[in-house]
Amino acid sequence: MGPVMRKILTALGITFAVVCLAGCTRINADELYRLPQASEDYLRLQEQINSVLNLGAEFSPPASGLNRQAVQLKDLNGDGTNEVIAFFRTPYDSTLSIYIFHMVDGDYAVADVIEGVGTAFESVRYVDMDGDGIMEIVVGRQVGAALKHMSIYSIKDFPSVQLASREYLEISVFDVNADGNNDVVVFRLPPEDTVTVAEVFVLMPDGEVVSEEARLSVGIERILRVTTGELMGGIPAVFVDSEGRFDDGSLVTDICAFRDGLFTNISVKAPSGISEETVRTRLNSSDINKDGVVKVPMPRLLQAQSETTYYAIDWYAFNSLGQNRLALTTYHNNFDEWFLILPFDWRGKVSVRRDDIAMGERTVIFSYIAGEEGPYEDFLKVYKISGDMREERAQLPGRVMLLSEGAAVYAFELLAPPNSYGLSFTEKLIKDNFRRLYYEWLSETG
């Protein structure tokens, strides 16, 4: 078997397996030992692909995103039959080609060839932007070391038609205008300006693409992360965490949403041109408590019992007017990979310190601050326990096991009667408020 045959069968092998499992209800002993055979349809498809490779092309799978195969199967037109989409590049002239094969009279034929210039495919997305059941294809191409180019294609009637094209830094797909259809949001740095722009592309029922721009904060140097979700009130929004040079921090979040029919950066403040209320040290926006509303985190220094600094994280939700409200507060233990949602009545009254004296036990102690400078009254310990007998140690007298994960067990211990010092804490509350830490929330503030 040649290398081309191996590549095609690797790309389509899962499909063969699914077809066989779905269609074979009775198999005799001889059939069990028979070598698997590719269907004639796929052998003819291989011939079609070979004809492209024989012209000097080579496979060029997209480098990022969910769709990274050189040969992909997707029902583009909603007829229940998968089209085959294959990605190639021609090294000698920097041509990038997408071949779309569809079934015609029981055989695969070339439906369209989409060509562009670049060094590689950066990404591809299949998006029904107008709800007609037919996918638009959003293609990202790497043009240079730092230059990427996006095109949106309609395949409603082959050959395809290019609907829009832009240079970009990042692409996001999300129903920004709440019409039930996904839109394409592109983040780009215009050549004539130093301000990064978010541009949303909406496909109208008449087939026309309209776009609107919103300027992001002045001073952005690099986009770190794009998160899609909701504002308070269920309004869709795009949250853009970016790195730059800002007073009091290195990271800013711009929040873009439709307001009064216009795509707007609701968080930016005039005249600075910066989303001032979201400038902070590095910590990503997130729907941390999974209620659908994305929050912007702001680290807050806790009163210390030692030279080591500890922070609480205040998470703010925004409305469409750019006004924020404190939604919840957390303490993050990045080293031990857990966090605790702190009751609001702990605010300004609680400090934190570590105590890792016991072998195999990493401990965080929460203390009530009795006065401006103490004394400190310990009321809660949270443990990460590893090594031998870890589950038994997590259930020593006074301790309550939270969860066991592989080589580590998490537990806590109340050091004072529940709800002492006017603070809300019970065994149930600690259990309900304890979470494992996921890395997209990690903070450099410790």
Confidence class of residue 239 from pLDDT cuts 50, 70 and 90? very high
Residue 23 has pLDDT above 50, yes or no: no
pLDDT digits (tens, 9 = 90+) for 60-70: 999 999 999 99
Q: Kindly state the percentage of the chain with pLDDT values over 90.
A: 75
Residue 358 has pLDDT above 80, yes or no: yes
Measured between alpha carbons, how far is 96 from 393 in angstroms, rounded to an integer? Answer: 60
| DSSP-based helix, strand, coil % in the chain, nearest 5 | 15, 45, 40
Write the single-letter amino acid at 26.
R
Measured between alpha carbons, how far is 376 from 416 in angstroms, rounded to an integer? Answer: 13
Between residues 20 and 405, the one the model is more confident about: 405
Between residues 16 and 148, the one the model is more confident about: 148
The residues facing 165 across adjacent strands are: 151
Angle at 150 between CA 147 and CA 153, to 5 degrees: 160
Measured between alpha carbons, how far is 23 from 328 in angstroms, rounded to an integer? Answer: 53
Please tell me the least confidently modeled range out of 150-159, 192-201, 209-218, 309-318.
192-201
The residues facing 164 across adjacent strands are: 152
Mean pLDDT of the chain: 89
Distances (CA, A) of 131 to 134, 177, 211: 8, 14, 18
For 382-396, what is the mean pLDDT?
A: 95
pLDDT for res 6:
47
Confidence class of residue 189 from pLDDT cuts 50, 70 and 90? confident
Q: Kindly state the percentage of the chain with pLDDT values over 70.
A: 89
Do residues 111 and 160 make contact, with C-beta atoms less than 8 angstroms apart? no
pLDDT for res 1:
44
pLDDT digits (tens, 9 = 90+) for 31-74: 545 455 557 777 888 999 999 999 999 999 999 999 999 999 99
Confidence class of residue 249 from pLDDT cuts 50, 70 and 90? confident
**Residues contacting 380, CB < 8 A, separation 6+:** 365, 366, 412, 413, 414, 415, 425, 430
- Using CA of residue 393, residue 399, residue 401, residue 407, what is the dihedral sign? negative
Closest by CA to 287, choosing from 228, 336, 226, 333, is 228
pLDDT digits (tens, 9 = 90+) for 301-343: 998 888 899 999 999 999 999 999 999 999 999 999 999 999 9
Measured between alpha carbons, how far is 198 from 196 in angstroms, rounded to an integer? Answer: 7
Query: Is 136 exposed, middle or buried, given 0-12, 13-18 or 19+ CB atoms closer than 10 A?
Result: buried
Q: Where are the alpha helices (DSSP H) in 284-400?
A: 390-394
Please tell me the least confidently modeled range out of 207-211, 231-235, 388-392, 439-443.
439-443
Distances (CA, A) of 314 to 114, 245, 328, 353: 48, 22, 6, 19
Prediction pTM value: 0.86
Residue 98 has pLDDT above 60, yes or no: yes
pLDDT for res 20:
38
For 239-266, what is the mean pLDDT?
A: 94
Confidence class of residue 444 from pLDDT cuts 50, 70 and 90? very low
Residue 3 has pLDDT above 50, yes or no: no
Helix (H) or strand (E) holding 12: helix 3-23
Maximum distance among all Cα pairs of the chain, rounded to whole angstroms: 84
pLDDT for res 145:
82
